Amino acid sequence: MQSEGLFSKPAPGVPAIGNAMKTKQQVVSEFRRSEIISAARTIFARGGFDAGIMDEIAREAGVAKGTLYLYFRNKTEIYKAVLDHDMRELKESTIERLDAANGLKNKIRAFMLARLERARVNREFFRIMDSDSRSLTYTRSQYRDWLREPVLRLAAALEKAAAKGEIRRLDPEKTAWMIVDMTRGTIQRSLLASTDAQPARDADFLLDFIWNALQPAPPSRKR
């Protein structure tokens, strides 16, 4: 009979230790890649895609230029990695705040505020994203994929509220995408403004407009 102990197989459904834990090399690799992405965001935000050269990115990241090519083939790939990283983070934070909010009105505000606050934090980079033709080509192909899950969650909340009679009956997914578009318009306006817009103030103004538009029509009076 085979003895149990260090060489026994793990129980069904329990991963082996080697599969469950990342190796030191994987941890270092992920950390280094994250450092490069962070440095590239700073460089691109400073002068745009064309002005951001590999030497500057390497210097900002504190690595040799050759190290960049161990993780990325070229500058365009780094640029797309920055966009993808930021949009994935935005997606996760938006979903988290949506799930934490109670009631439709609070969920709409949470959805908008997550995006407005991120745009304020990464103001310069968002401005480049919005004006650079390279990023537009990329973001248009990825934009709906990044936002699909948060939008569907918001749409579900809209549909639930409509079923309760709290708001008008409208196409929930189309309405959710309209909220996305209005939020994006608010971000674009704040990027062009000379003043430092406050995300909470913009969110409240936009929420008031949207919420009034969602209210059920008053019953018609009979003559």
More confident residue, 113 or 218: 113
Q: Domain check: are 144 and 66 in the same one?
A: no
Instruction: Give the pLDDT of residue 87.
Output: 84
CB 83 within 8 A of CB 38: no
Mean pLDDT, rounded, for 219-223: 60
CATH of the domain at 36: 1.10.10.60
Mean pLDDT, rounded, for 16-42: 77
> What confidence tens digit (pLDDT) does each residue in 197-209 have?
688 999 999 999 9
Q: Domain check: are 53 and 130 in the same one?
A: no
Mean pLDDT, rounded, for 158-180: 95
Q: Domain check: are 88 and 44 in the same one?
A: no
Q: Domain check: are 201 and 128 in the same one?
A: yes
CB 177 within 8 A of CB 151: yes
* Final residue before a domain boundary, out of 6, 37, 72: 72
Q: Domain check: are 169 and 135 in the same one?
A: yes
Domain presence at residue 45? yes
Domain presence at residue 223? no
How many domains does the chain fold into? Answer: 2
Instruction: Give the pLDDT of residue 134.
Output: 56
219 φ, ψ to 5°? Answer: -65, 140
CATH of the domain at 148: 1.10.357.10
Q: Domain check: are 68 and 88 in the same one?
A: no
What confidence category does residue 131 fall into, taking pLDDT thresholds of 50, 70 and 90?
low
Round to whole Å and give the CA distance between 33 and 56: 16
Domain presence at residue 156? yes
What confidence category does residue 108 fall into, taking pLDDT thresholds of 50, 70 and 90?
very high
Q: Domain check: are 50 and 111 in the same one?
A: no
Domain presence at residue 10? no
> Which secondary structure element, helix H or strand E, spans residue 8, and what is its range?
none
User: Percentage of residues in the chain with pLDDT exceeding 70?
Assistant: 77
Domain membership of residue 37 as a residue range: 22-72
Domain presence at residue 3? no
Give which of 222, 154, 217, 142 is closest to 183, Cα–Cα: 154
What confidence category does residue 6 fall into, taking pLDDT thresholds of 50, 70 and 90?
very low
Instruction: Give the pLDDT of residue 140.
Output: 58
Q: Domain check: are 103 and 189 in the same one?
A: yes
